[in-house]
Amino acid sequence: MKVGFALLMAGTMTACTKNNDGITPQAHDDNVYQQIMHANMTQMNAMKMTGDADHDFAMMMQMHHQGAIDMANQELKAGNDQTMKTMAQNIITSQTTEKAQFAQFISSHTPTASSAGQAFDMMAMQDMDKMMKAQDTRILTGRSDVDFAALMIDHHQSALDMAQNELKYGTVNTMRQMAQKIIDEQKTEISQFQDWLITNKPY
């Protein structure tokens, strides 16, 4: 029985190896998109939070958007798939505009700390940590289109999470409206990235 079990396991392992032919994971430290994200996360971790939900949402989303823009620029530079390049350009266009709106709000708003704001800050940092863990466990291929699509799903999800926390804790209408806009737009884009990955079957 033991010999039979050993042979069965050996056959299973061989089958798994054959099924995995063609998959050559890239080390995360070597992946340009991971490098962009880790640099962006380092900057976000260095931010001085104010304890004001609306102000800190604007600061974090402004920097978060920059990470998406940097990734999208890399896709335009290195990608081959026209659908992904079009999505990258759309991200650059929309999030550059939103960055300017966040910057305008930050410059005209005096932050006031509150318990709600502190709760937002705690949840926002948890969202960032969740995003990095999700990205750190993804299989990366070194193929720009595939890695851009996969990692942008996680990146967009963290933006959704932060925007939902802004709706929960924020009080300024302009920021709440921007949070809802982010939720609506990025839910759609997550679905588009997922559909592309399913259709192209990168793994």
Question: How is the chain split into domains, by residue range?
Answer: 26-200
Distance from CA of residue 55 to its chain's centroid?
Answer: 21
- Whether 131 contacts 154, CB under 8 Å: yes
- Whether 148 contacts 89, CB under 8 Å: no
Report the chain (203 residues): mean pLDDT per 10 consecutive residues: 40 38 64 88 89 97 96 97 98 98 98 96 88 80 93 94 97 98 97 96 70
User: Which bin fits 37, alpha (ψ -120 to 50), beta or left (φ > 0)?
Assistant: alpha
Tokens 């291929």 identify what position? 141
Among the listed residues 54, 101, 79, the one whose alpha carbon sits nearest the alpha carbon of residue 145: 79
Six token digits for residue 118: 């502190």
pLDDT at 90: 97
> Crossing angle of helices 173-200/144-169, nearest 10°?
150
pLDDT at 203: 63
Q: CA gyration radius for the chain? A: 20
Under CATH, what is the fold of the domain 26-200? Ferritin (1.20.1260)
- Whether 118 contacts 51, CB under 8 Å: yes
Rounded CA gap, 90 and 141, in Å? 24
